[in-house]
Amino acid sequence: MTMSLPTKEVSMLKGKRIAINTGGGDAPGLNAVIEAVVMSAYHRNWEVYGIKNGYTGLLNTDEIVRLTPEVVRRISILGGTILGTTNKGNPFEMPIKNVTGDIEIRDVSDRVIQNFKRLRFDCLVAVGGDGSLKIAYDLFRKGMPVIGVPKTIDNDLGGTVITFGFDTAVSTATEAIDRLHSTARSHERVMVVEVMGRHAGWIALNSGISGAAHVILIPEIPFDIDRICDHIMEDELHGDHYAIVVVAEGAAPKGAKALNKGAGEVGRQDVLLGGIGGFVAQEISKRTGKDARSMVLGHLQRGGSPTTFDRLISLRFGSAAVRLIENEKFGTMVALDPPNVKAVPLEQVIGSIKSVPLDSDSIQTAKDIGICFGD
Ligand code: F6P
């Protein structure tokens, strides 16, 4: 079944037809962006259509859904995304089974563009992180009008002070760290918490400081395991018989690469990271003789309702995206530049990882209050 199309006259009367998709790993706030886009478009007499599962919904158009105020009303408080998402659907590098049953990587982006034009969409609002926004930019270069909205719990996307989803992830991680203090103290143990953060240590840094960690390990600062052990033993001398170590999944010892679990599913653009928490716990135990346990916080950080901050910023991003469409600022991304939301060219954003600056106030604060980075 394909979507029924309005006649040209009806389409013109009704104003613009906007498509929206959510791509990559989910993040709390996606539904709030969708609600704001739909409501802002509705008040301009425009129509919004939801593309399912990232860009794959523009290849198989059967599941495209009309998003009306009735569909999206009050979804801003819900986690996840009503449109579904995937990190395997890059139309420029789509894994497709050939006649012999082997997987071939093919560029099917022309089909995406054709379907977009056939459905008479005026713009795609692409909500995603670096990978999804790179696809949006490549489609823009092929003639598709797009507006990007920055999402990732990792907060590692350039061009914007903050991405939505990050604040919720930090709150979840902080709450988990808070809870570990009592059990670690009771057993005089070292508890190592592995949090997300592939390329940048924002979640580890912010939750580690807020959760009163003893040690924070981030990708930006390669660590020396002996320095960490010395710090834990010094704290021990001062009466702290337990320790909390917060480690970003992308952190690595000096001279080593981040630990990974391989390529993951077919069509995935990046390797699955993980394992550094277990490694750090094992090494600390070996060297200090203390009990050490590790836990991986994993996808808990992506789940649940968005915090107040993430709800607000997601709604502001969605509404700003519609204003950018109105002003035909295609090929740009909405970005937070406090107190304003502005537009930045997608070209400037993609591929630019926003790392934690080593001279940042947060790193300095952490060091001043006695937190060790293993450097
Ligand atoms: O959203 C980014 C991220 O949370 C990374 O920190 C993490 O490595 C990755 O997603 C995990 O993705 P997946 O859900 O595909 O395992």
Q: In this structure, which residue's CA is closest to atom 13 in ligand 1?
A: 25
Average predicted confidence (pLDDT) for the chain: 94
pLDDT range class, residue 13, cuts 50, 70, 90: very low
Query: Which ligand 1 atom sits closest to the C-alpha of 165?
Result: 1
List the catalytic residue out of 26, 130, 138, 154.
154
Q: Token pair for residue 332?
A: 């740009």
End-to-end CA separation in angstroms for the chain: 59
**Among 251-255, 269-273, 366-370, whose mean pLDDT is lowest?**
269-273
* Listed range (4-18, 50-64, 169-183, 262-276) with the worst mean pLDDT: 4-18
**Strands of 222-262, DSSP E:** 243-248
- DSSP labels for 159-211? TSS--BTHHHHHHHHHHHHHHHHHHHHHHT-EEEEEE--SS--HHHHHHHHHT
pTM of the model: 0.94
State which ligand 1 atom lies nearest to the alpha carbon of 299: 14
Task: Please return the burial class of 282, using the count of CB atoms within 10 Å of its CB with bins 0-12, 13-18 and 19+.
Answer: middle
222: preceding bond cis by omega (within 30 degrees): no
Annotation marks residue 224 as catalytic: no
> Which residues lie across from 333 on neighbouring strands?
148, 344
E-strand stretches of 170-322: 190-195, 215-217, 243-248, 292-296
Got the DSSP string for 335-348? EEETTEEEEEEHHH
pLDDT in tens, 66-109: 999 999 999 999 999 999 999 888 999 998 888 888 889 999 99
Q: Which atom of ligand 1 is nearest to the CA of 273?
A: 8
**Torsion angle of alpha carbons 44, 49, 50, 51, nearest 10°?**
-130
Tokens coding 224 = 């020396």
Q: How far is the CA of 161 from the centre of ligand 1 (A)?
A: 20
Residues in contact with ligand 1 by the CB-under-6-Å rule are 25, 87, 152-154, 196-198, 249, 272-273, 302
Identify the CA nearest to 331 among candidates 352, 348, 350, 346.
346
pLDDT at 7 over 80: no
> Residue 242 has which token pair?
């337990």
Q: pLDDT tens digits, residue range 113-135?
A: 999 999 999 999 999 999 999 99
- Cβ within 8 Å of residue 143, ≥6 positions away: 113
What was the pLDDT predicted at 262? 84
Average pLDDT rounded to a whole number, residues 254-258:
94
Sign, CA dihedral 191-195-199-200, equals negative
Compute the average pLDDT of residues 50-66: 95
Give the CA distances from residue 161 to residues 155, 275, 276, 344, 351, in Å, rounded to whole numbers and listed in that order.
Answer: 8, 29, 28, 12, 16
Pick from 141-145, 206-210, 349-353: least confident: 349-353
**Average pLDDT of span 303-325:** 98
**pLDDT for position 14:** 60
Confidence of residue 237 (pLDDT cuts 50, 70, 90): very high
- What average pLDDT does this structure show over 359-372? 98
Query: Which range among 86-100, 207-221, 265-279, 304-318 shows the weakest confidence by mean pLDDT?
Result: 265-279
